[in-house]
Amino acid sequence: MNALKIPIETTTLPNGLKVVIAPDTTAPVVTVGVYYKIGFRLEPQGRSGFAHLFEHMMFQGSANAPKMQHIKLINSSGGTLNGSTHYDVTNYFESVPSNALERVLWLEADRMRALKVDDENLRNQRDVVKEEVRVNVLNQPYGGFPWLDLPPIAFRNWATAHNFYGDFADLDAASLADVQSFFKTYYAPNNAVLLILGDVKPDEGLALAKRYFGDIPAAATPPFADPREPEQTEERRGEVEEKFGTLPAMAIGFTVPPRRTTDWCAMALLDQALHGGRAGRMYRHLVLEKQVAVEVDGGIEDIFGYNGPTQMVTKILYKPEFTSETTLAEFDSVIHDVQQNGITQDELDQLKVKFRSDYYSTLEGGHGGMPRYGLMHLLACFSLFDNEPHLVNTILDDFLAVKREDIQSVAKKYLRNDKRAIVFRSPANAQAQEAA
Amino acid sequence: MATRPAAEIHTAVPPLSAERQVTWPKRTKARLANGLEVVLAESHTIPKFHGELFFRSGNAAASQRAPGFAEMTATVVRTGTQKRASRQIEEDLRRLGADLSSHAGADNSAIAFAGLSELAAPLLQLVNELAREAAFPEAEFERERRQKLEEVKLDRTQPGFLAGERLRKVLFGAHPYAQVAPTEEQVAAYKRDDLLSVYRDFYTPENALLLMVGDFDSAAMLKTIEKVFGAWSGQKPIVPPSPEPAKPRGRRVHLVHVPGAVQAQVLAGCHAITRKHPDWIKLGLTNSLYGGAFNSRLVMNIREDKGYTYSPRSSVNPLRQYGYFSISAAVRNDVVAASLTEIFYELDKLRALPVPDPELADARNYVSGVFSLGLATQDGLLSQLATVALNDLPDDYLENYREKVRALTPGDLLATARKYFDSANMQIAIVGDRTQIEPQAALFGDLDVYDAHGKRLG
């Protein structure tokens, strides 16, 4: 069933920059990405939120493309652009009509070679980031639930346990010197991969990559904080006040097995069994059958995009007439059922079909209509974490080989109370809401 | 690749190379004997397909029963058919590797689906069952209604929702477009039998459009569709005419008070035009240049220059009968007045001065370029085809769009801004803590203050 043959050309330039080209002439459109192996997890202590703030700075000007030019040049070429900060990578990407490919590579090379920003730019983007945090977290019901709530409860190593959006005091403390030093340390060709996908001939793409990126000097291999966690031996719980929302909520997270292991593949299918939409066991039990919850979703987010500890998280918004104990007991009964009885062959067959279908969709799109974002993301992560971009064609086989007993085994091994963390998010004004 | 002097390679912006031809895929259009309209297009990017079965009636057409009624009908549609119970439906979808959602907006109801090409026929069978034989099981209806009650409460805690709701009420008045969501009381009064009658009225082949894009052979797919949907029958619903919308004159500020808000959500808007209007493309370009793109005047001003906000945006919002233009920004509490000043400054500037040629050329390139990004994915193409079909636009609309955009002049934009950026009559909804922002808001027009439930506050 699985016979993916996505054509991929790969090379590494003498300065260490990995280049991956995936040609496809469906449309005269090309997507370019540059991924740097630096994310939230690796930002300096005392500078929470810095990796993300820095990502904003990368749009503020470089040696030959001053502030506003980057955005202007991409938009006026008929394309869109963005960047995003993840746990272990930060990416910058553009989708443009293919006649703008050379221009895009020039821009990405210019900012890899020489970021050029000043205090005024930093002040401006610090303000913008604060409004981003307000609009996404501080002024939103369930803002940051649970992606910012859970890590400090679940993890003990600062790398994964801190506030990734940043405390405002830390954002205020960030200086231009921090920006320069972060750039010098992590934004080097030997810590990055360049991806060109879509309407490009591989030899031409490679020639352009060499022309624009070839003489950017390599830097010393950057130091990476060790993100490993001490063994968890007790359940961890915490509470966060919900300022605006009307419903009590909780999220339960279990740490995922290390990537590229058999357990990891089994956990991904178990995740599908538990969180796969309305057919998933969690939704079916908590929302459809017991009717304790209003919303249940979650799972392992972006399973291929992590190079360190991450969790499978179940998010539950439940009805005010139920207690957190009742809700958690219903959650537990779903876990116990799969631990004791495993899953049927028929269910496993369904899970595999859905997993395969979802994988295809991931490859095609997945980010604000930007074509091939998902393929780009997987190629980048497989390049930076595994040095094996071709995994994109074969990794599906590992998941389709999972057996029933593997699923039951990971359920028993990883979904244990002493391996989980729970955050309770309770509305501050529950009484006021009821009285209104 | 042109050769350039080595010294310039890194310093000079490379020119664009010759443009590659944009070719939109051939569409197969058909109308079955029962009236069902079908549009198919092939796209072989992945071994899957995307589809949507639209019904040309939505919440507006059901508004005499209750606000949000078509949405509730769509929600219950997927919970059971004559042949399959809810759990069976969900497991069958998973067995087919499929995703499905049933939903409704103001003008349409729809069943959207995506699945593996090798399993297309059984997925179409299931869609057919949902469209024709939904059973509205009593227990499922009760559960969904209870869920909806909690959802409408939650909606009223979201600044974006509250701003949108207030603006729509102000712009549309007695017209059904004023109602973006039901109240708790209205949901409590929903009746299963009423949902069933909406379902019988709306979900008919004469009222429907089936769009599919993906990895299939169109001729074979059309045969499958005929086999699956051929025996369905039903008339177009009769929809009573709607009252005229309000046409508010003069700037007015509508403040929704949310105690403790740490930011102000601003949403200003005025009446504009529908997708079918001949000025649509002109307005789209003018909007893009004002605040519809990252590289737009508004974003450069209040984000990149002043740092007031993360996500300023302007949009043209076409509904079937009317359209409106809107500007949104979530801003720091202490810069509400400063942000509105810049929002109006940029609007009025476009109404007063012609856009310089280079800026217009950039905007034309942007709008025509991103239009063709839709070609590269199945769901992108589906949404382009849906726009054409649901608005009865000409068959060659996609092919001619870029050329029309590229023909626009500074004079066109000036006239468009003057006509549709109705600065003097702009209605301004602001969601925030009145104790922090009221004096600033009051600078921009007569002020009304509401709570999150729409109750007028003194």
Q: How confident is the model at residue A126 (pLDDT cuts 50, 70, 90)?
A: very high
Report percent pLDDT > 70 for chain A.
97
* CB-based contact B332 A127, cutoff 8 Å: yes
The answer to whether B2 contacts chain A (CB < 8 Å) is: no
pLDDT at A436: 37
Which chain A residues are within 8 Å of B19, Cβ to Cβ?
28, 97, 99
Whole-number pLDDT of residue A33: 98
Inter-chain residue contact B373 with A100, CB threshold 8 Å? no
Q: What gap in Å lies between CA A180 and CA A133, rounded to an integer?
A: 24
Residues B55-75: tens digit of each pLDDT: 999 999 999 999 999 999 999
Q: What are the pLDDT digits (tens) for B273-317?
A: 999 999 999 999 999 999 999 999 999 999 999 999 999 999 999
Q: Distance between CA B28 and CA B213 in Å, rounded?
A: 10
Residue B4: which pLDDT band, with cuts at 50, 70 and 90? low
Alpha helices (runs of H) in B255-326, residue ranges in sequence order: 280-287, 297-299
Task: Judge if pTM exceeds 0.80.
Answer: yes
Q: What is the pLDDT of residue A44?
A: 86
DSSP B302: I
Could you give the C-alpha distances from B338 to A334, B269, B443, in angstroms and in order? 53, 18, 11
Residues 12..31 of A with a Cβ closer than 8 Å to B: which?
Answer: 24, 26-29
Q: Are A87 and A76 in contact (CB under 8 A)?
A: no
The structural domains of chain A, with segments of one domain joined by +, span 9-213, 236-435
Q: How far is B118 from chain A (nearest CA, A)?
A: 10
Two tokens at A147?
């992606």
- At residue B256, φ and ψ (nearest 5 deg) are -100, 115
B97 → closest Cβ in A277, A288, A354: A354
- CB of B294 within 8 Å of a chain A CB? The answer is yes
The pLDDT of residue B222 is above 80: yes
Partners of A127 on chain B (C-beta within 8 Å) are: 307-308, 332
Looking at CATH, the fold of the domain delimited by A9-213 is given as: Cytochrome Bc1 Complex; Chain A, domain 1 (3.30.830)
**Through-space distance between the first and last CA atoms of chain A, rounded to whole angstroms:** 57
Query: What local confidence, expressed as pLDDT, does residue B1 receive?
Result: 42
Does the beta carbon of A185 lie under 8 angstroms from any beta carbon of chain B?
no
Cis peptide before A146 (omega within 30 of 0): yes
Average pLDDT, chain B: 96
* Contact (CB, 8 A) for B54 and B386: yes
From B329's Cα to the closest Cα of chain A, the distance in A is 10
Is residue A432's pLDDT more than 70? no
Residues in chain A: 436
Q: Which residues pair with A96 in a beta bridge?
A: A30
The 3-state secondary structure of B58-72 reads: CCCCCCCCCCCHHHH
* Confidence label for B88 from pLDDT (cuts 50, 70 and 90): very high
CA distance B421 to B351: 7
Could you tell me where the DSSP H helices lie in A387-428? 391-400, 404-414
How far is residue B118's CA from residue B46's CA, in Å, rounded to a whole number?
Answer: 12
Tokens of A327: 């809700």
Mean pLDDT of B90-118: 98
What span, in angstroms and rounded, lies between the C-alpha atoms of A360 and A355? 9
CB proximity A361 to B under 8 Å: yes
Average pLDDT over residues B446-454: 97
pLDDT tier, A139 (very low <50, low <70, confident <90, very high otherwise): very high
Predicted pLDDT of residue A292:
97
Best mutation target, A25, A57, A70, A76, to test chain B (most B CBs within 10 A): A76
- Give the model's confidence band at B2: pLDDT under 50 very low, under 70 low, under 90 confident, else very high: very low
Per-residue pLDDT band at B3 (split at 50, 70, 90): low
Q: What is the largest CA-CA distance in chain A?
A: 69
Same fold, A9-213 and A236-435: yes
Phi/psi region, residue A159 (left: phi>0; alpha: psi -120 to 50; beta: rest), is: alpha
Strand spans (E) along A189-248: 192-198, 236-242
Which domains are seen in chain B, by residue range? 27-229 (3.30.830.10), 252-457 (3.30.830.10)
Q: How close is the nearest chain A Cα to the Cα of B203, in Å? A: 23
* Residue A372 contacts B where some CB pair is shorter than 8 Å: yes
Give the whole-number percent of chain A exceeding pLDDT 90: 92
Mean pLDDT for A161-176 is 94
C-alpha span between A174 and A168 (Å, rounded): 10
Closest chain A residue to B11 measured between Cα atoms? A64
CB of A5 within 8 Å of a chain B CB? The answer is: no
pLDDT digits (tens, 9 = 90+) for A329-383: 999 999 999 999 999 999 999 999 999 999 999 999 867 778 999 999 999 999 9
Q: What percentage of chain B has pLDDT greater than the value 70?
A: 98
DSSP state of A186: H
Of the pLDDT bands very low, low, confident and very high (cuts 50, 70, 90), residue A2 is low
- The Cα B129–Cα B113 span in angstroms is 13
Q: Measure the CA–CA gap between B291 and B297, rounded to whole angstroms.
A: 6
In A, which residues are within 8 Å of B377 by CB distance?
364-365, 369, 371
Pairing of β B427-432 and β B252-257: parallel
- CATH annotation of A236-435: 3.30.830.10
